[in-house]
Structure 1
Amino acid sequence: MVLSACGGGDDDGGTGAAGGDGGSFSVYIGEPENPLVPGNTNETEGGQIVDSLFTRLVQYDVETNEAVFTGVAESIESEDQQTWTVNLKEGWTFHDGTPVTAQSFVDAWNYTAYSPNAQGNSYFFSNIAGYDQLQAPTDDAGNVTGEPAATEMSGLRVIDDRTFEVELTSPYAQWPTTTGYTAFAPLPEAFFEDPEGFGEQPIGNGPFQAEEALVPGQGITLTRYDDYAGETEGNADSVEYRIYTEQNTAYTDLQAGNVDIVDQLPPEVIASAEGEFGDRYLETAQGDITSLGFPTYDQRFADPNVRKAFSMAIDRQAISDAIFNGTRTPATSYISPVVDGFREDACQVCELNAEEANRLLDEAGFDRSQPVDLWFNAGAGHDAWMEAIGNQIRENLGVDYNLQGNLDFSEYLPLQDAQGMTGPFRSGWIMDYPVAENFLGPLYSTAAIPPAGSNVTFYSNPEFDQAIAEGNSAESNDAAIEAYQNAEDILLEDFPAAPLFYRLNQGAHSENVDNVIIDAFGRVRVADVQVVG
């Protein structure tokens, strides 16, 4: 198999720096969870900034979501789909002027995979040979009992400055597609000299550079990197990422012209926003899923039948119609409709069925006299629909609820990682790469349990892990999809989370900017934005 640069024009509707008129614009974001290091950034707010600063091996076409060779890789080749040779293009540099080399990728990936570094994207390297040797030994309770056996994965080998090999633990035909995700970014030597300082003011290889540090609670302004080697250079001179704690405040600022781009609108304004903003109103089908996660470590929610009962007490369509103006599609699978492998009728317990829900709850001996805590992050428009879920649970199951929605996003995620959820919780996921596995492995595999990944339900089933591995090593796409669907069937039986909605995202922008694209990954493509005001 050979995947290589296809050349040609820019098919995503963007324009290069030559077509831009400079200027500056601002973008709404929430507080990033972690310092701005690619290997430890696996949420949307920090991810938006990091993706402006770094370019990976491949990128994703804005129309098809397919991997395209407009990034650092010239080609990614394999004869057996297990050992891959990565060839890099010439001329790529970091923002400090140092070259982007094969070593830049290998060192970055080893750092992220090494468990003492506690990087949240470590999971994405678990299929590279030698990854296990970078994981510290633990006892049955998960406590670390020693140091890892190695600091470098045996499956990564630098051939020369522009070539390196990647040996996987088993064949994985879709591996090149995954390398467009944030975790696979290269790192300069400066990172290893001062990781802490780097996280505040990163040095990347992307279309924008950080000439100042991120200020928590305020944001960061990035400037165009004029020596960017990619095909889509920044049109604007600078982009300001402005941190808000309340989505409604950002929307009010957008109406007043005080912020230029708001990529997600509050639910209560969806019905009126198109009329207000006209062609500056944006709707994008997202490769995402919103779920109600369950703390499987909490004895009250340890029984899968309890979790299924809660799912069947929820009328998803009623919530979509009443709160989201019908722009949320009730989820019927753990897999998004935008990728191969989605099945419309996969989940039989994702529809309202109060009678069966009560039967399951009675069989499980669930204590209905004690209210349940419903968790969600504050300031992001989740209050109304989480309250609606609580009301339906109370009405259909006779179980009262307490809303726990006082934590900022940057506080909410670490509490999930620390097994701090005392009841069902709002869980959102936007795809990292357009493969069905991305909606399964990173969220529910044993290897993705924090701090290595995003399995915040702390679900673990070796049969599920094996099915994912079989999908990754399948010889054809059809065989891979069959294995991933087998894995999903195991999930549907164990039910660590209740699929709720797929999202049609609503955003808007000011009269100051044009050519605003919000892609299926939930990213504002800031390099394409043109300042016209």
Structure 2
Amino acid sequence: MAIGGSMKLKNRAPLWLCLLLVFGLIAASCGGDDDEGTDTGSESEGPTGGEFAVSICEPQFLQPGNTQETCGAQVLQSLFTPLVEFDPDTAEPYNVVAESIESDDQQNWTITLNEGWTFHDGSDLTAQSYVDAWNWAAYAPNGALNNYFFGNIEGYADLNPDKGKPKTEEMSGLTVVDDLTFEVALTEPFSGFPLTVGYTAFYPLPESFFDDPDAYNEAPIGNGPYQIDGEWNHDEGINVVRYEDYPETPGNADAVEFRIYADVNTAYTDLTAGNLDIIDVVPTEVLAQAPQELGEGFVQAPSSYYGYLGFPLYEEPWDQLELRQAISMAIDREAITTAIYQGAYTPANSIISPVVPGFREEACGEMCTYQPEEAKELWDANNGPDEISLWFNNDGGHEEWMEAVSNQLRDALGVEAKFESLAFEEFLTLQDDHKITGPYRGAWVMDYPHPQNYIANIYASTGSSQEFGYEELPGSETVDDLIQQANAEPDLDAAIELYQEAEDQILADLPSTPLWFGQTQSGFDPETVGNVIFDVFSFVRVAEVEVLNPDA
């Protein structure tokens, strides 16, 4: 199926219609040439120049095959341009590097590239750049965190044998036809495949990457509107400058500083003091006064954010379903979203987000409803401990709501909670290594606008962010089977029903409990920057930001 053209069009069809077109394999642009609609700043007459700084946390990686978290992904979005991008307002897909992505059977896909793309080192971007990058990430000995995303490509199993070293380094399902064309054979039909290739894991790589991946991680070379300036200065910052040979609309600013903060409150202080231009997230502690303090610089926009409390099923006593249910019913989501998030977040009673097809308002039912008396009965009947640990990263403004959860658990269950608060990178590593010992903060921002991205990536047995140990529970096999059926279903309504069945099984097993769906709550200095757009993935559209006084 061809997904539109390479131009950003205004007044396009809504996401649900575009997804219908995707699932139905109807070639469509999902758009028109009407002059009305939201101006994203992508059609400005030319770069405005100047420099600005945006806050991030310390990334875990700066390699596409290993970047799973938002801080690294924010940087990579300036350094890379994907095959497919998404409208910042509607998440509608449109082709960029890809000229077309087509299939007659939803299983065998042909991807044709537009001409004229190069990497920042001057080398040509070709079909081989994608095939080599995808093979590297899928090759088990490389240990890429995004390995899972290639699991539905023919030959993936050969690169990931159950025992021993792989006998090949290339997936049989990837074939280079010519410099601008390659073919992808999937193990089974998946009508949503064109949406997935907009994700970080599917970025192309230059030949220089394979000479020294570790060195590349410190100074990535991409094909995006900005190129890295120097190297990643860990725990301090990452600087990028405009790539002058970029074939699409160039970035507005001459340079961008991604300034790394260990404490989001420090970032907010710098913003209000005029020492920072854009903050990626406003701390919960100042949400009440932020609209007044930031004025027109306060941003509240729709987001695909899904917050949850994960349970380490590999650790006693969290292997007991009843204790997980008790925790879930002891949390007053409405009280927290009202008091702490000022009503901007909404209590979650499902896994699938309201911004994608398949959302159900009461999927979790009573188990995600505040019922302290029932929670106490379950806790006591199943010998719940007197003390637990609550885990979260300490660089994202999570202390206040975790404190509220701790107080609610004490009041409802009589349990004392101690905090295990860590830097984000360390927190993620402990999740990967199954070394978390208590309920922990989890959050998800969609990689692509599809219900499968919530169900499969977080909860499938081999999901990229399935860190609960859920694969050991009997229900996990049912979930995997339903996901497989849904992926192959060409009819959107039928596919959604299957994803919802999988969601029902997950909520019955409760490897995590939904907490809330969020909005982007960010800020910028309206005296220094304009055209600041946060998309539904919660990312700043860096290339579109305009520096208001570039000569200052």
Q: Aligning the two structures, in what range does the TM-score lie when normalised by the shorter sequence?
A: over 0.9
The secondary structure found in structure 2 opposite 1:271 is coil
The secondary structure found in structure 2 opposite 1:226 is coil
CA-to-aligned-CA distance 1:273-293 (integer Å, 9 cap, x gap): 111222111111110101000
The secondary structure found in structure 2 opposite 1:27 is strand
The secondary structure found in structure 2 opposite 1:300 is coil
1:236 and 2:256 matched? no
Rounded Cα–Cα distance in structure 2 between residues aligned with 1:368 and 1:158: 57
1:329 and 2:346 matched? yes
Q: Which residue of 2 aligns with 1:40?
A: 66
Q: Which residue of 2 aligns with 1:457?
A: 468
Rounded Cα–Cα distance in structure 1 between residues aligned with 2:3 and 2:272: 45
Rounded Cα–Cα distance in structure 2 between residues aligned with 1:353 and 1:418: 33
1:116 and 2:131 matched? no
What residue ranges of structure 2 are gaps of 5+ in the alignment? 11-37
Q: Which residue of 1 aligns with 2:291?
A: 274
Displacement of 1:157 after TM fit? 0.6
Displacement of 1:266 after TM fit? 0.7
Displacement of 1:362 after TM fit? 3.6
1:103 and 2:128 matched? yes
1:414 is aligned, of 404, 429, 435, to: 429
- Taking the TM superposition and a 5 Å limit, the aligned residue runs for 1:70-89 are 71-89=96-114
Displacement of 1:444 after TM fit? 1.2
Displacement of 1:191 after TM fit? 0.3
Query: Is the 1:515–1:529 Cα contact (8 Å) retained in structure 2?
Result: yes
1:192 and 2:219 matched? no
1:58 and 2:73 matched? no
1:291 and 2:308 matched? yes
The secondary structure found in structure 1 opposite 2:99 is strand
Displacement of 1:18 after TM fit? 3.8
Query: Is the 1:159–1:165 Cα contact (8 Å) retained in structure 2?
Result: yes
Q: Which residue of 2 aligns with 1:442?
A: 457
Rounded Cα–Cα distance in structure 2 between residues aligned with 1:262 and 1:65: 22
Q: Which residue of 1 aligns with 2:420?
A: 404
1:425 and 2:440 matched? yes
What residue ranges of structure 1 are gaps of 5+ in the alignment? 139-145
1:300 and 2:323 matched? no
> What one-letter code is carried by the residue in structure 2 that aligns with 1:245?
A
Q: Which residue of 2 aligns with 1:3?
A: 3
Displacement of 1:3 after TM fit? 3.0
Rounded Cα–Cα distance in structure 1 between residues aligned with 2:209 and 2:251: 24
Query: Is the 1:137–1:147 Cα contact (8 Å) retained in structure 2?
Result: no
The secondary structure found in structure 2 opposite 1:65 is coil
Query: Is the 2:3–2:93 Cα contact (8 Å) retained in structure 1?
Result: no
Root-mean-square deviation (Å): 1.3
The secondary structure found in structure 2 opposite 1:64 is coil
Rounded Cα–Cα distance in structure 2 between residues aligned with 1:17 and 1:355: 59
Normalised to the residue count of structure 2, the TM-score between the two structures is: 0.91
The secondary structure found in structure 1 opposite 2:537 is coil
Rounded Cα–Cα distance in structure 1 between residues aligned with 2:503 and 2:456: 10
Worse-matched range after superposition: 2-11 or 371-380? 2-11
The secondary structure found in structure 2 opposite 1:440 is helix
Rounded Cα–Cα distance in structure 2 between residues aligned with 1:106 and 1:226: 26
1:392 and 2:398 matched? no
> What one-letter code is carried by the residue in structure 2 that aligns with 1:457?
F
The secondary structure found in structure 2 opposite 1:28 is strand
> What one-letter code is carried by the residue in structure 1 that aligns with 2:492?
N
Rounded Cα–Cα distance in structure 1 between residues aligned with 2:207 and 2:142: 17
The secondary structure found in structure 1 opposite 2:352 is coil
Query: Is the 1:203–1:210 Cα contact (8 Å) retained in structure 2?
Result: yes
Q: Which residue of 1 aligns with 2:19?
A: none
Worse-matched range after superposition: 289-298 or 350-359? 350-359
Q: Which residue of 2 aligns with 1:142?
A: none
Query: Is the 1:17–1:233 Cα contact (8 Å) retained in structure 2?
Result: no
> What one-letter code is carried by the residue in structure 2 that aligns with 1:5?
G
Rounded Cα–Cα distance in structure 1 between residues aligned with 2:545 and 2:195: 25
Query: Is the 1:17–1:234 Cα contact (8 Å) retained in structure 2?
Result: no
Rounded Cα–Cα distance in structure 2 between residues aligned with 1:8 and 1:180: 15
1:481 and 2:496 matched? yes
Rounded Cα–Cα distance in structure 1 between residues aligned with 2:179 and 2:233: 35
Rounded Cα–Cα distance in structure 1 between residues aligned with 2:246 and 2:321: 51
1:14 and 2:41 matched? yes
The secondary structure found in structure 2 opposite 1:3 is coil
> What one-letter code is carried by the residue in structure 2 that aligns with 1:339?
V
1:25 and 2:40 matched? no
The secondary structure found in structure 2 opposite 1:40 is coil
> What one-letter code is carried by the residue in structure 2 that aligns with 1:3?
I
Q: Which residue of 2 aligns with 1:367?
A: 384
Rounded Cα–Cα distance in structure 2 between residues aligned with 1:169 and 1:326: 44
> What one-letter code is carried by the residue in structure 2 that aligns with 1:112?
A
Aligned-pair identity (%): 49
Q: Which residue of 2 aligns with 1:90?
A: 115
Equivalenced residue count is 516
Query: Is the 2:299–2:521 Cα contact (8 Å) retained in structure 1?
Result: yes
Worse-matched range after superposition: 454-463 or 14-23? 14-23
1:512 and 2:538 matched? no
Displacement of 1:359 after TM fit? 2.9
Displacement of 1:313 after TM fit? 0.3
1:225 is aligned, of 235, 243, 262, to: 243
Q: Which residue of 2 aligns with 1:523?
A: 539
Rounded Cα–Cα distance in structure 1 between residues aligned with 2:399 and 2:307: 14
The secondary structure found in structure 2 opposite 1:278 is helix
CA-to-aligned-CA distance 1:478-525 (integer Å, 9 cap, x gap): 111111001101101111001001112211111211000011101100
